[in-house]
Structure 1
Amino acid sequence: MKTNYGGCDYYVDGTHMYEDYEYEYKILDNNGNWLCPIAEAGEYLIFNQMPNAYLFTSYKAETYSCSGPCGDYHSVNLMVAPINTCQKYEGVAYGYSRPDNPSFEIISNKVLNDPPADNSFCDAINLAAVGCTGTQKFYWEYSTDAVNYTKTNTNTVFNENFQFIKANFTALNNYFGTIYFRALIDSDPSITEENIYSNVVNYNITSCSPLLNGDPIAADVRCNNESNGSVTLNFKTDITTNQKLLLNLFKDNNFMTHKFVSAAEIVNQSFTWTGIAAGSYTIKYQAQTNTDNNTLVGSLPVVSPTFTIANVTPLTFKVSPIQPACVDDKGKIQISASGGTSPYFYVLDGEPLTNKHSFTGLYTIPNELLEGDHTVVVLDSRDCIEK
């Protein structure tokens, strides 16, 4: 608070006779008690809580009469309750010979807005002292332990943005975690005793995530309705050994699952996520420290372009026995296949798959078969079978 009538040493409670006039002056808290400043510097009073009321009255009755601008009558007062921050108040005064008009203005030191729920950033954050429009200057400082603060050598005025860029401070190289900000509020550059610190706000420095080097490369599922598709992500840069990537998989904008990827799993700046069913997907990802086990990305992840893992058509085949023409003749089997992924193969009567035989079109197996039950297994080029 800046006021022209001083602090607690000048408070007078109730109507007090001073020389030959009535006088009262006090600043009160929410309970109506005197609120004394914790420090005074010139006209500046520093409080550890917001004052609720300011009361100043001075009255002197006329003791002699005269004509023109003379006489000793005066009436001066300023009464404000409750007090609003960011506002200047000035009293009213009457009389020729009177005290100075009482006045005061006040700001709160809570000039830094609380961070949003997701208070993370990786490279830069915009900060501002807000609320009023005074001439105060704000000298910005940061800390990683909320005890020892480093000056940024930057000052702003009310409602002026300060972009804190992590790369400008070498002490923060490879630092990830909580960072605290405050501002030293200077209301009068001619003195220093009135300087006070603002409230403190904290943010979380995360690693900047590597950008994609091209679109995701999708591989389709091997067989119909299997969950063995994959997608390969190629990155422009590496992450450090104390970091991991958090990947969130979304199908049609619905969260499906997450995966942590260590630096060792990213080979030549490439990682392949396997075991994915057919569908259209996006991946949202971010780099974070190895000790950060949050499974959902924050508000500023890297978002991949949409990629599609295609389902293959199901493999189907037909088997037709060719009956022997005569009693002593042997039979054969005729097969055909469609769907799946050509070329097609078959194995007969329990042969191992390593002995599979290729065929095309409507095909008659050359083996002559004795009367009885026989089995044929048809496969495509990916060893898929009919389901």
Structure 2
Amino acid sequence: MARGRAGEKEEGEKHIGLLKLAQTLSFLLIFMAGIIIGLAASSHIDRYFNSLPTTTFSSSSSATLQTVSDYSNCTVIHRDCTGDDENHDDDAAKRKRRDRDCWSVDGFVRPENLSHGMSDDELFWRASMVPAKEGYPYERVPKVAFMFLTRGPLPMLPLWEKFFRGNEKYLSVYVHTPPGYDMNVSSDSPFYDRQIPSQKVEWGSPLLTDAEKRLLANALLDFSNERFVLLSESCVPVYNFSTVYSYLINSAYSFVDSYDEPTRYGRGRYSRKMLPDIKLHHWRKGSQWFEVNRKLAIYIISDSKYYSLFKQFCRPACYPDEHYIPTFLNMFHGSVNANRSVTWVDWSIGGPHPATYGADNITEGFLQSIRKNETDCLYNEEPTSLCFLFARKFAPSALAPLMNLSSTVMGF
């Protein structure tokens, strides 16, 4: 019996020893696995963090190169503040550049040239920026931005140059031409180097309204511009610059043609697909040749919601250039709009285009009939016979007689 118990005890101790050995081996295996996993993870983490300086450097280099590319023809800041540009031999020009302060407010509020690589979305975002602080930290002379939407040449350019002469401090010029078209003007012309980056335009399509907004946005980059006039290559001034400037700068209202047309040419162009955002009673029609103040210009280029509806649903025979701005202002800013245009045009012949006037039509009496309207309009809520500052449509042949009459009739 004693021997049997001793055997059982020995067998039990042996079994316990095996269990302890198995536990020890298990712990060793788990420990070794942990070490292996830890080393692998450590190696992966090391590779990750070691790659960060390279990635950061690569990203930084790319950003630096991109910045150089973007600002090589910058319209907002001066890219050369040292005056060490070897490509310029003019010592006076070098001294002028050397005196520039790249961080001055002047470079931000008054762009030196109009060339840039911004997309329309980038341009509209940049132009929509409004200072929260009232007033200006510099002497601001409010200017009128004359924005020309053209199909190419400007046949009335000599007349406009004569109109602008001596008043450069109070105006800015912006020209939207077909892409690739190069205006051939002298370096002393107000039109010199004033073409904005443009895109293709088609009559009656949203592309035409895109061009209008593009002109507004580029003009808004200059914080001195206070009033914005849209003109075509066939437009002419019918008063001298001082009269036009005073009329616009001192106006409490903007001048956008906006009226309810209860025919198929007005309400008939409305699409119920614009509901619920744009309703029929909102719908307005008007001439595309508008004049707006700075605040309204910012509202127009900042709008995406309503303009997207026009781009989608206002298609021929609906024309966005005749309906978008008149409707948008009627919906939200009607109280500050005079609901009339300051550009005279003759629609008496009927059809989709107004009458065109050539050399044979240009007389003193004809011009005076435009200047002194038979029906008074309102200016700052007071009746006046001075209703139109500009007129269209004029053929190239009209230039010579207009130049001859500009000093005696129009005063410039």
Structure with the higher strand share, 1 or 2: 1
Structure with the higher helix share, 1 or 2: 2
The normalised TM-score by structure 1 is 0.20
Larger Cα-atom Rg: 1
Higher relative contact order (CA 8 A, sep 6+): 2
